[in-house]
Amino acid sequence: MRRHLLLLLSLLACQIGFAQNYNVIEPELQNVLDSKSNDMISVNIILKSEANISHLRKNIQSTEDAKAQRQVVVSELKNFSEQSQKDILSLLKAGEASGDVKDITAHWLSNMITCTASKDYIYLLSEHYDIKIIGYNETQFLLWNEKAREVEAQRGMTQNIKHVNANKAWNEGYTGKGVLVGVIDTGVNFHKDLEKNLWDGGEEYPNHGYNTFENSHDVHDGFNHGTHCAGIICGDGTSGTQTGIAPDATVMCIKVMDDAGGGNANTVCSGIEFAIEHGADVLNMSLGFPNASMSTREALRQTYENALEANVAIMTAVGNDGMLNLTFPVPNSVRVPGGCPPPWLHPDQQANPGGLSACIAVSAVNYYNVVADFSSRGPFTWQTSSYEDYPYLPGREIGLIRPDVCAPGVGIISCSNTNSSGYISMDGTSQATPCVTGVVCLMLQKKPYLTPAQICEALETTATKLSETKSNETGSGCVNAMLALEEIEDYKDITGIEDKFTNNVSIYPNPVKDRLYIETESEIEEVIVYDIYGRHQVTETPSHQEMISIDISNLNSGVYFVKINTANGNIVKRFVKE
């Protein structure tokens, strides 16, 4: 019966567009297929079809509110994945009915489907014309052997808070209030210092988040990792020690690993998707794949690129493999996704530029600002079937400089997962990363609609420099919360959510080449054009006209915002310069 069904599906496959085998099964999966005759195998199926990002950007031009823009991006990406995955999902559903397939998960930040399938069915799927890679969805240890040391509660704040000047930001009223952080980790226990800071997921998510490893509501941290990271972000000191960089931020608990620290591309990508879909403002990822396979690299890079389109920055650890040069040599010392590119390219990277993503990579230093021995070193390079940028060749090509910034990661005190009022000390880039995430929470409280590019630029340009140029040990330097907050003071609100008015405003053409026309029902007093970093590009002060045109021929190609001030109010519009 099973053979007959496979034959029937093969015939069906030919009718809907299957072609010759493009050798899409990656080597790691082929080894598993050769060694397992009857076992069901978890695989990631990455499609060739990719969302049209230019089209996506055009669709959000008329959406002024940043939150609404994100929902448009999410909706567009979901619609694209749903349409492009139809044929393959129908085959998987048929395989599910015959017992050849189970555990189907359709992703949308990356055009990927994860499932568990039989050997024969995997070979059948490999013939589909729109499949780029079928990879082994291997559950790997995504953390490091970071030793936890119990410490006594001490009144006052931990040293890392002072080191990055977060306490001075509190004095200015910035504590992360109103900012939602997705902590993508081993789960988060309900420590007393975190109880007031947990996301209210309502009846649908009663435990303040979700477990994508088991597809359950159990977010219990059994590994002593996620709770520690959450405490560094927003531990409020209820039990005696102030550990949180942003003590009023809110944590969404997303468990993507089991209690042994094991996770896979499916659980991690699902966790990122959950966080973005449910409104997280920034994500913390203190994990990484060692020697990531081609399919894992493709899935995580695409996920991070589309997270950038959704306007969400992801603070990501570079890893703790700095002393394992033989096992993880450059350019593979930095783990994936920490090797994904940043949302803003530092001038030192311009010698070898490439694509962008939502990743702000973080390394660890001690309290003397000396790089920790364990902290992974860059550069990184991308040479996959879809991404061939940031080439690395010693003496000729610099690769991708990793990290972007650093933060204290040695002797970091935070919340224990085994004692609801206790504290432990740990070392790692896992501890440095939430420190930077906490600083970003302070920034987002001040300017809620900062883009990932603005966040990255502000962090890098205000960091305490530890080298003459951006380095592969400490990036642009150690983050400085107060200077970052001062830097974004001049970043303009370019989302159009303030000073709304009901008059109709038209700008055209869009995209535009040389002259942009603006027409309103009220007299125009001033027009200001900003780039995506909020910096002035063009200013016009017409004599109270209802229609004007401005010359933008000298602007570089890209996305800009025009703020139109009228007698009845102000509004911001987005346009694209060709």
Average pLDDT, the chain: 90
Written as six digits, the tokens of 216 are: 């359950």
CB 332 within 8 A of CB 319: no
Span 108-117, pLDDT tens digits: 999 999 999 9
Written as six digits, the tokens of 177 are: 């209030």
Distances 17 to 13, 29, 49, 87, 114 between C-alpha atoms, Å: 6, 24, 14, 10, 21
Phi and psi, residue 378, nearest 5°:
-85, -175
Provide the whole-model pTM: 0.84
Phi and psi, residue 58, nearest 5°:
-65, -35
Task: Please identify, among 114, 137, 160, the residue that sits at the C-terminal boundary of a domain.
Answer: 137
Shared-domain flag, residues 159 and 59:
no
Task: Please identify, among 456, 490, 524, the residue that sits at the C-terminal boundary of a domain.
Answer: 490
Most confident of 34-38, 127-131, 281-285, 496-500: 281-285
> Which residue range(s) make up the domain with 546?
505-577
Shared-domain flag, residues 479 and 372:
yes
Residue 429 lies in a domain: yes
What is the enclosing helix (H) or strand (E) of 77? Answer: helix 66-84
Residue 339 lies in a domain: yes
User: If we measure between CA atoms, which residue out of 300, 284, 371 comes closest to residue 339?
Assistant: 300
Residue 360 lies in a domain: yes
Query: Could you count the other beta carbons within 10 Å of the beta carbon of residue 428?
Result: 26
Shared-domain flag, residues 175 and 117:
no
The pLDDT score that the predictor gives to residue 532 is: 61
Strand partners, 157: 242
User: If we measure between CA atoms, which residue out of 1, 107, 118 comes closest to residue 50?
Assistant: 107
* Tally of helices (H runs) and strands (E runs) in the chain: 14, 28
Residue 218 lies in a domain: yes
The Cα 357–Cα 343 span in angstroms is: 5
The Cα 368–Cα 131 span in angstroms is: 50
The pLDDT score that the predictor gives to residue 238 is: 97
Instruction: Output 571 or 340, whichever has higher pLDDT.
Output: 340
**CATH for 252:** 3.40.50.200
CB 183 within 8 A of CB 274: no
The pLDDT score that the predictor gives to residue 190 is: 93
Shared-domain flag, residues 484 and 509:
no
Q: Does the pLDDT of residue 2 top 60, yes or no? A: no
Shared-domain flag, residues 102 and 147:
no
Provide Rg for the chain, Cα atoms.
25
Strand partners, 527: 540, 564
The Cα 431–Cα 408 span in angstroms is: 7
The pLDDT score that the predictor gives to residue 564 is: 85
Shared-domain flag, residues 544 and 409:
no
What is the enclosing helix (H) or strand (E) of 532? Answer: none
Written as six digits, the tokens of 49 are: 């079809």
Q: Please name the amino acid found at residue 377.
A: R
The Cα 126–Cα 21 span in angstroms is: 6
Average pLDDT over residues 32-48: 92
Angle CA 289–290–291, to nearest 5: 115
The pLDDT score that the predictor gives to residue 55 is: 75
Shared-domain flag, residues 482 and 553:
no
- Reduced to 3 states (helix: H, G, I; strand: E, B; else coil), residue 351 is coil
The pLDDT score that the predictor gives to residue 503 is: 44
Shared-domain flag, residues 130 and 169:
no
The pLDDT score that the predictor gives to residue 498 is: 35
Distances 246 to 43, 180, 443 between C-alpha atoms, Å: 39, 11, 10
Residue 311 lies in a domain: yes
Residues in Cβ contact with 3 at an 8 Å cutoff, skipping those fewer than 6 apart: none
The Cα 144–Cα 429 span in angstroms is: 10
Percentage of residues in the chain having pLDDT higher than 70: 92
* 177 exposure class (CB count in 10 Å sphere: 0-12, 13-18, 19+): middle
CB 117 within 8 A of CB 96: no
The pLDDT score that the predictor gives to residue 7 is: 46
The Cα 114–Cα 125 span in angstroms is: 12
Shared-domain flag, residues 108 and 149:
no
- Reduced to 3 states (helix: H, G, I; strand: E, B; else coil), residue 575 is strand
Looking at 22-77, which runs of residues are DSSP E strands? 41-47
pLDDT category, 69, cuts 50, 70, 90? Answer: confident
Residue 498 lies in a domain: no
Q: Please name the amino acid found at residue 232.
A: I
Residue 383 lies in a domain: yes
DSSP codes of every residue in 302-323: HHHHHHHHTT-EEEEE--S-TT
Task: Please identify, among 137, 167, 201, the residue that sits at the C-terminal boundary of a domain.
Answer: 137
Query: Could you count the other beta carbons within 10 Å of the beta carbon of residue 521?
Result: 13
Shared-domain flag, residues 327 and 408:
yes
Span 447-483, pLDDT tens digits: 998 999 999 999 999 999 999 999 999 999 999 999 9
Written as six digits, the tokens of 416 are: 């224990």
- Reduced to 3 states (helix: H, G, I; strand: E, B; else coil), residue 388 is strand
Residue 552 lies in a domain: yes
Full 3-state SS string of 274-300? HHHHCCCCEEEECCCECCCCHHHHHHH
pLDDT category, 97, cuts 50, 70, 90? Answer: very high
Shared-domain flag, residues 432 and 467:
yes
Strand partners, 216: 211
pLDDT category, 250, cuts 50, 70, 90? Answer: very high
Q: Please name the amino acid found at residue 519.
A: E
The pLDDT score that the predictor gives to residue 368 is: 98
**CATH for 535:** 2.60.40.1220
Cis status of the peptide bond prior to 403, with omega within 30 of 0 = yes
CB 349 within 8 A of CB 400: yes
pLDDT category, 501, cuts 50, 70, 90? Answer: very low
Alpha helices in 416-474 (DSSP H): 429-446, 452-462
* 36 exposure class (CB count in 10 Å sphere: 0-12, 13-18, 19+): exposed
Angle CA 344–345–349, to nearest 5: 165
User: If we measure between CA atoms, which residue out of 400, 182, 226, 394 comes closest to residue 301?
Assistant: 400
Shared-domain flag, residues 245 and 320:
yes
The pLDDT score that the predictor gives to residue 209 is: 98
Q: Which sign does the torsion angle of CA 266, 268, 273, 278 carry?
A: positive
Distances 457 to 93, 308, 480, 491 between C-alpha atoms, Å: 46, 14, 13, 11
Total domains in the fold of the chain: 3
